[in-house]
Structure 1
Amino acid sequence: MYDYIVVGGGSGGSVVASRLSENPDHTVCLLEAGGPDKSILIHVPLGMAAMLPRKINNWAFETVPQKGLNGRKGYQPRGKTLGGSSSINAMLYVRGHKWDYDHWASLGNEGWSYDDVLPLFKKAENNERGGDDFHGSGGPLNVADLRSPMGINNTFLEAARQLQLPMNDDFNGATQEGVGYYQTTQKNGERWSAAKGYLTPNLDRQNLDVITKAPATKIIIEGKRAVGIQFKHNGKIKEIRARKEIILAGGAFATPQLLLLSGIGAAKDIQPHGIEVVHELPGVGENLQDHIDYVSAYRSPSKETMGISLGGAVDIFKAIGQWRKERTGMLTSTAAETGAFLKSDPNLEIPDYQLHFVIGMLDDHARKTNLGYGFSCHACVLRPKSRGTVKLNSANPSDAPRIDPNFLDHEDDVQVLLKGVKEMERILRAPAFEGIRGKALYEMDLDSDEAIIEMLRNRADTVYHPVGSCKMGTDEMAVVDPQLKVRGLEGLRIADASIMPTLIGGNTNAPTIMIGEKAAEMISTDAQQQLEMA
Structure 2
Amino acid sequence: MPVRGGLADPVMDDFDFIIVGGGSAGCVLANRLSADPANRVLLLEAGGKDNYVWIKVPVGYLYCIGNPRTDWCMSTEAEKGLNGRALKYPRGRVLGGCSSINGMIYMRGQAADYDGWRQAGNPGWGWDDVLPYFTRAEDHYDGPSPVHGSGGEIRVEKQRLRWDILESFRAACGEASIPLIDDFNTGDNEGASFFQVTQRSGWRWSASDAFLKPVRGRANLKIVTGALVDKVVVEQGRTVGVAYRLGNTSHIARAAGEVLLSAGAIGSPAILERSGIGDAAALSALGIDPVLNAPDVGANLQDHLQLRCAWRVSGVATLNQRAANLFGKALIGMEYLLRRSGPMAMAPSQLGVFTKSHDRYATANLEYHVQPLSLEAFGGLLDPFPAFTASVCNLRPESRGTSRITSADPGTAPSIRPNYLSCEEDRRVAAQAIRQARGIVSQPALARFHPEEVRPGMALQSEEELQRAAGDIGTTIFHPVGTAAMGAVVDHELRVKGMDGLRVIDASVMPTITSGNTNAPTMMIAEKGAEMVLSAAKR
AA aligned opposite 2:139: N
From 472, 475, 479, the equivalent of 2:486 is 472
Report the 3-state secondary structure (helix = DSSP H, G, I; strand = E; otherwise coil) of the residue aligned with 2:454: coil
**Residue deviations 1:422-449 (CA, integer Å, cap 9, x gap):** 1112223333333533561542435322
State the shift of 1:33 in Å: 1.1
Q: State the distance in 1 between where 2:274 and 2:458 align.
A: 45
Q: 1:303 to 1:8 in 2, by over 3 A?
A: farther
Q: Which residue of 2 aligns with 1:295?
A: 308
Q: Which residue of 1 aligns with 2:8?
A: none
Q: State the distance in 2 between where 1:353 and 1:515 align.
A: 23
Q: Which residue of 1 aligns with 2:454?
A: 440
1:451 aligns with 2:465: yes
Is this contact kept in 2: 1:287–1:389, CA < 8 A?
yes
**Residue deviations 1:285-322 (CA, integer Å, cap 9, x gap):** 11111112210123344563212677443233223233
State the shift of 1:150 in Å: 2.8
Q: Which residue of 2 aligns with 1:358?
A: 371
1:226-245 superposed matches below 5 A: 226-245=239-258
Q: Which residue of 2 aligns with 1:509?
A: 519
1:152-191 superposed matches below 5 A: 152-173=165-186, 175-191=188-204
Range 371-380 or range 41-50, more displaced: 371-380
From 409, 413, 430, the equivalent of 2:422 is 409
AA aligned opposite 1:459: I
Q: Which residue of 2 aligns with 1:486?
A: 496
User: RMSD of aligned C-alpha atoms?
Assistant: 1.7
Q: State the distance in 2 between where 1:398 and 1:22 align.
A: 33
Q: 1:435 to 1:93 in 2, by over 3 A?
A: same
1:71-82 superposed matches below 5 A: 71-82=84-95
From 270, 284, 287, the equivalent of 1:257 is 270
Q: Which residue of 1 aligns with 2:150?
A: 137
From 40, 53, 64, the equivalent of 1:40 is 53
1:500 aligns with 2:510: yes
**Residue deviations 1:114-171 (CA, integer Å, cap 9, x gap):** 1100000111111111111111111110111112233321121122122222111111
Is this contact kept in 2: 1:335–1:360, CA < 8 A?
no
TM-score, reference length from structure 2: 0.94
**Residue deviations 1:2-47 (CA, integer Å, cap 9, x gap):** 1111001111111011110111111111111111111111110011
1:193 aligns with 2:206: yes
1:90 aligns with 2:100: no
Q: Which sections of structure 2, spanning at least 5 residues, go unmatched?
A: 1-13
Is this contact kept in 1: 2:322–2:328, CA < 8 A?
no
Is this contact kept in 1: 2:109–2:187, CA < 8 A?
no
1:328 aligns with 2:341: yes
AA aligned opposite 1:468: G
Q: 1:372 to 1:485 in 2, by over 3 A?
A: same
State the shift of 1:374 in Å: 2.4
Q: 1:373 to 1:237 in 2, by over 3 A?
A: farther
Q: 1:153 to 1:369 in 2, by over 3 A?
A: closer
Q: State the distance in 1 between where 2:385 and 2:314 align.
A: 8
AA aligned opposite 1:90: G
Q: 1:114 to 1:312 in 2, by over 3 A?
A: farther
Q: State the distance in 2 between where 1:75 and 1:428 align.
A: 29
**Residue deviations 1:491-516 (CA, integer Å, cap 9, x gap):** 11011000000111111000000000
TM-score, reference length from structure 1: 0.95
Report the 3-state secondary structure (helix = DSSP H, G, I; strand = E; otherwise coil) of the residue aligned with 2:223: strand
From 422, 431, 434, the equivalent of 1:421 is 434
1:522 aligns with 2:538: no
Range 257-266 or range 313-322, more displaced: 313-322
AA aligned opposite 2:408: A
Report the 3-state secondary structure (helix = DSSP H, G, I; strand = E; otherwise coil) of the residue aligned with 1:407: coil
Q: State the distance in 1 between where 2:412 and 2:17 align.
A: 27
Q: Which residue of 2 aligns with 1:532?
A: none
Aligned length in residues:
525
Is this contact kept in 2: 1:339–1:354, CA < 8 A?
yes
Q: State the distance in 2 between where 1:400 and 1:81 align.
A: 17
Identity of aligned residues (%): 39
1:268-287 superposed matches below 5 A: 268-287=281-300
From 15, 25, 30, the equivalent of 1:2 is 15
Q: State the distance in 2 between where 1:461 and 1:11 align.
A: 23
**Residue deviations 1:75-95 (CA, integer Å, cap 9, x gap):** 211111111111111111110
Q: 1:421 to 1:442 in 2, by over 3 A?
A: closer
AA aligned opposite 2:110: H
Report the 3-state secondary structure (helix = DSSP H, G, I; strand = E; otherwise coil) of the residue aligned with 1:216: strand
AA aligned opposite 1:173: T
Q: Which sections of structure 1, spanning at least 5 residues, go unmatched?
A: 530-534
**Residue deviations 1:468-504 (CA, integer Å, cap 9, x gap):** 000011xxxx111001001111111011000000111
From 16, 25, 29, the equivalent of 2:29 is 16
Is this contact kept in 2: 1:149–1:337, CA < 8 A?
no
